[in-house]
Structures are given as structure tokens and as C-alpha cells.
Amino acid sequence: MLDFFQQFFGYLQSGGYVMPPLVIATIVLWWTLGYRYAALRRGTVRGTRPLVYRYLKGKKPSRDGVLVRALEKGMKLREQNPPHLRRFLDDAFAEEESEIQKFKILITTIVLVAPLLGLLGTVSGMIETFDSLGDMSLFSQSGGIAGGISQALITTQMGLAVSIPGLIVNGILDKKQRQIQIELAQIKDLICGPIPGKEDTDALS
């Protein structure tokens, strides 16, 4: 374990001043991705129509999730029978819709900026490498000029290592978010619609 940390810190030092921001970006990126993953839990495996009809029969979901919380808010509003129910539902669901979009812009920013930070480190490293050619100082270091170029490319490697997985995972979460937004709209339509008969609720249970 000690050797691992020594190699890790050596890797960071070899990349220069760009590496600490990239490490911080990595930590923030995966924390926010984890938050979004937790926030995008539906709370049920059922479709919106069976979910609403089962709720009307008193079969409430036992797990917590976006759709479950939205449905509970919507049903409470329906029981109050306010005028223009749809407007009240829009306001009630706004919190859930905001929650599933939280940190989306921050994640996208990190994914876009990380490769640019890596490129900045590479350019800085290459400038130092060619500046050192005047007095051949790099030949006195391990790896010579090739070692200097290798150090410069470490930052590009790190930037891509941060960006690519984050881009893939965020794309998956964005797709899940869009699906949940569609389901929230369906729940609004079902709540605003007529109460189904007993045969309908039995068929969809």
C-alpha cells in the first residue's frame, strides 16, 4: 500500500502544476455523478399507469424514489381538489424535477474542461523541454528528452482519464433523467384525468 501511494504521488509530481486541479476535478466529478445516480432512483419497477392505479387501491410503494414522491404529492393535491389542478401539480413536481437535474451543468463543465487542462499541462511541459535544449539540461535527467516529453504527456493522459468515463456515465444518467421527466408528465396526466373504474385498477394491479 505504501508503494502504491509513493508511485501515485510520484505520478502527480511528474505531471506538474496541472495535476492537483485534475485530481480535485476527478473527486468532484465522481461525487456529483454518485449524487445524480442516487437522485435518479425511480422508487418502483412498475410503469406509471399501474403505479397510479395501485396507489388508488391503497397499495403504496414501499421504496423511496422520484416517481413515488411525486405521486404522493400529486395524490394529496388531488384529494384537496383545487381549481386548475395541473398548475398545482407543476409547482409540486418542480422540486423533484430540479433535483434530478442537480449538478448536471457542473458535471458537463468538468468533462469538457479536464482534457483542456491536460492539454495545457502538455504544452507547458513541451515548452520547458525545448527551453532546456539550449543547455542540454534534460540529458542529465533520467530519460533525457524522451523523459521530458513523457512527463508532458502525463497531463493529457490524466485529462482524458477524467473526461472519458465521466462523459459515458453522465450520458447514461442524462438518458435516465429524460425518461423520468417523461414519466413525471405521464403521472400528471393520470392524476388530472378521470378516476378509473374498479375493473381498470384490477387489470393493472
What are the tens digits of pLDDT across the range 113-126? 999 988 888 887 77
Cα–Cα distance measured from residue 130 to residue 150, given in angstroms and rounded to the nearest whole number: 13
Question: Mean pLDDT over all residues of the chain?
Answer: 81
Residue with cell 486541479: 21
Report the range of poorest mean pLDDT among 87-91, 128-132, 136-140.
136-140
Rounded to an integer, what distance in angstroms lies between the CA atom of residue 44 and that of residue 68?
A: 7
Show the cell assigned to 154: 502525463
Residue 148, C-beta contacts closer than 8 angstroms, at least 6 positions apart: 125, 128, 129, 132, 138, 141
Residue 134 has pLDDT above 70, yes or no: no
pLDDT score, position 4: 62
Res. 2 pLDDT band, cuts 50 70 90: low
Provide mean pLDDT across the span 104-119. Answer: 93
Alpha-carbon separation of residue 127 from 21, 81, 102 (angstroms): 20, 70, 40
pLDDT at 30 over 80: yes
Query: 8-22, 157-171, 190-204: lowest mean pLDDT where?
Result: 190-204
In Å, how far are 2, 14, 79, 127, 149 from 7, measured between CA atoms? Answer: 9, 10, 63, 25, 19
d(CA 111, CA 171): 11
Proportion of the chain above pLDDT 70, given as a percent: 77
CA contacts within 13 A on the Cβ side of 132: 18
Which bin fits 103, alpha (ψ -120 to 50), beta or left (φ > 0)? left
* Residue-wise burial string across 85-105, b where 16 or more C-beta atoms lie within 10 A, e elsewhere: beebbeebbeebbeebeebee
pLDDT value at residue 136? 56
pLDDT-derived band at 198 (thresholds 50, 70, 90) equals: very low
Cα distance between residue 35 and residue 99, in whole Å: 10
Residue pLDDT, tens place only, 33-74: 999 999 999 888 888 888 888 888 888 787 888 998 999 988
pLDDT band per the 50, 70, 90 thresholds, residue 167: very high
Q: What are the extents of the domains in the chain?
A: 19-203
The pLDDT assigned to 173 comes to 95
Per-residue pLDDT at 81 = 81
Amino acid at 204: L
Asked if residue 12 lies in contact with residue 23, where contact means CB atoms within 8 angstroms, the answer is yes
The average pLDDT across 155-179 equals: 92
